[in-house]
Amino acid sequence: MGSSNNQTILVTGGAGFIGTHTVVQLLNDGYNVSIIDNFDNSVMEAVIRIREVVGPQLSNNLEFTQGDLRNKDDLENLFSKTKFDAVIHFAGLKAVGESVANPRRYFDFNLIGTINLYQVMAKYNCKKMVFSSSATVYGQPETIPCVEDFKLQAMNPYGRTKLFLEEIARDIQKAEPEWKIILLRYFNPVGAHESGKLGEDPRGIPNNLMPYIQQVAVGRLPELNVYGHDYPTKDGSAIRDYIHVMDLADGHIAALRKLFTTENLGCTAYNLGTGHGTSVFEMVTAFEKASGKKIPIKLCPRRPGDATEVYASTEKAEKELGWKAKYGVEEMCRDQWNWAKNNPWGYKRKSLE
């Protein structure tokens, strides 16, 4: 591999939704990138699409390894061959409901995988890390917007893994001050790459709002269940901070820059959100407008554990990372629809699994 800025970044989970978009931006920015992914929630086609999007030349700066973070040898093999300047760590499981039903699987993937990664990074003296955290660590926030120094709280086993992994990062950095660790707390990532070649491709019935709406729009699902229409909000539906996945990808580049340029950074958290709240009904309307498709809805009771209104304070990321989200809900829906209409079955070219 040989690129313009000569830094090499290991991206764990780089074949996944946020990973693919971030890898594209890293390659466009001149980094060498090495992905490790076990395809637990992704497919090789996603890596092929990354190469299509960046073109043959930048593609030379991308390496892919099929491997599992729970298997330390897979990590040893990578680190013994390549000197990584930093790691962006996406690999993990993220479905709240599944984590309640099967917490051991979540502790295995998220905790063991990440602990292995820290051990091998330390052994090979790679001590710069960008970690995928989540707004879930704010639990049911008492006030909004969520500010990074709020009290943290886990609502379910998935959230507990993110909370523990934040604590683990803080402990490691405190004991070994040469580590620099940035914890990125994502709000609600949606949208897709503007090419329509990369996007979110969940297995089975989607848990999250936008992939569900998308599958209704292409005829894979009959209607959207709206969970809760009696919230104390402007239209009765719950409010979230949706962020375009390309903005999120750029947030990772800003975080890397911060890691490489700041002495004594320590371990610090940043929200990646837009700072704006949008209701479920508003998202439905925006998607209908972008797609020209009617999304039939069914009003359902609230989903247990859901917060009424969550959105980010964006001040810290703006001030310290020099990063701010550029896209609004209109662009999120436009790009998500472009992905959906070109890939109604996701990366699988023909029919449902």
Q: List residues near ligand NAD by CB under 6 A.
A: 12-13, 15-19, 36-42, 68-70, 90-92, 94, 109, 113, 132, 134, 186, 189
The residue type at 174: K
Q: Is 311 a catalytic residue?
A: no
The catalytic position among 31, 138, 158, 327 is: 158
Q: Which residue matches tokens 């375009």?
A: 244
Q: Is 12 helix (H, G, I), strand (E, B) or coil?
A: strand
94-133 binders of ligand UFG (CB under 6 A): 94, 96
238's contact among ligand NAD, ligand UFG, none, with CB below 5 to 8 A by partner kind, is ligand UFG
Q: Are 296 and 208 in contact (CB under 8 A)?
A: no
| Closest-CA residue to 185 (of 210, 208, 209, 159) | 159
State yes or no: residue 208 binds ligand UFG (CB under 6 A): yes
State yes or no: residue 306 binds ligand UFG (CB under 6 A): yes
207's contact among ligand UFG, ligand NAD, none, with CB below 5 to 8 A by partner kind, is ligand UFG
- Residue with the CB atom nearest ligand UFG in the bound state: 136
Return the structure tokens found at 298: 């069914």
Nearer to ligand UFG, 94 or 128 (CB): 94
Smallest gap from residue 6 Cβ to ligand NAD (A): 26
Nearer to ligand UFG, 280 or 290 (CB): 280
Residues in Cβ contact with 264 at an 8 Å cutoff, skipping those fewer than 6 apart: 177
Tell me which DSSP letter residue 146 carries: B
| Closest-CA residue to 24 (of 252, 228, 289) | 252
d(CA 303, CA 226): 9
Q: Other C-beta atoms within 10 Å of 235: how many?
A: 12
- Site size for ligand UFG, by CB under 6 A? 22
Interface residues with ligand UFG (CB under 6 A)?
94, 96, 134-136, 186-188, 207-209, 212, 224-228, 238, 240, 280, 303, 306
Q: Which residues are catalytic?
A: 158
